[in-house]
Amino acid sequence: GAVVSQHPSRVICKSGTSVKIECRSLDFQATTMFWYRQFPKKSLMLMATSNEGSKATYEQGVEKDKFLINHASLTLSTLTVTSAHPEDSSFYICSASWGQGHTEAFFGQGTRLTVV
- Residue among 103, 109, 31, 106 at smallest CA distance from 71: 31
Residue 112 found at the interface with another protein (CB under 8 A): yes
Could you say which residues in the range 37-76 bind another protein, by CB under 8 A? 41-46, 49
Q: Should residue 35 be labelled a site residue for another protein when binding is judged by CB under 8 A?
A: no
CB 22 within 8 A of CB 81: no
Question: What backbone torsions phi and psi does residue 5 show, to the nearest 5 degrees?
Answer: -110, 130
Position 59, amino acid: E
| Smaller CB separation from another protein, 74 or 91 | 91
Contact residues: another protein, CB under 8 A:
1, 6, 34, 41-46, 49, 91, 93, 100, 102, 104-110, 112
